[in-house]
Amino acid sequence: MLVRVAEEEIVFVRADGNYSDLVLTNGKTRSMPFQLHYFENAFQELNTNMFVRVGRSLIVNKRYIYIINLTDGILIFSGQEIKAELSPIRVSREALKALKEQLQQEAKRDNNG
């Protein structure tokens, strides 16, 4: 089986044992027979890598991050390209805190550069 998905259609990738679930902008989920590190390596090969690892079981597309809620431990996605309502996903506070700090550092670099 061959599945081709444009990078801008991927909202996040979540580990599911030896598989990974791709959640797409159209709200569909595709189960892939690869572990998360496969996607992490593939995303690093992109010219413009918009993906970031969040904790042990999640890779998110930074362009769709809408809210990082440390208090409730959830991540909310939004964007014009997202055609379906996606439920917030639970993420550990430590992973969300690291993600927030990384995004703030990137924003600071972009504003100074």
DSSP SS3 for 22? strand
**pLDDT attached to residue 110:** 85
Task: Return the closest-CA partner of residue 5 out of 27, 33, 24, 20.
Answer: 24
**pLDDT attached to residue 12:** 98
Measured CA to CA, the distance from residue 86 to residue 43 in angstroms comes to 22
Q: Residue type at 85?
A: E
Q: Hey, what domains does the chain have and what are their CATH numbers? A: 7-112 (2.40.50.1020)
**pLDDT attached to residue 3:** 77
pLDDT tens readout for residues 64-92: 999 999 999 999 999 999 999 999 999 99
**pLDDT attached to residue 111:** 85
Q: Is the pTM of this model over 0.85?
A: yes
**pLDDT attached to residue 113:** 64
Measured CA to CA, the distance from residue 54 to residue 59 in angstroms comes to 6
Q: What is the DSSP string of 53-95?
A: E-SSSEEEEGGGEEEEETTTTEEEE--TT--SPPPPEE--HHH
Measured CA to CA, the distance from residue 58 to residue 36 in angstroms comes to 8
For the chain, list residues with pLDDT below 70: 1, 113
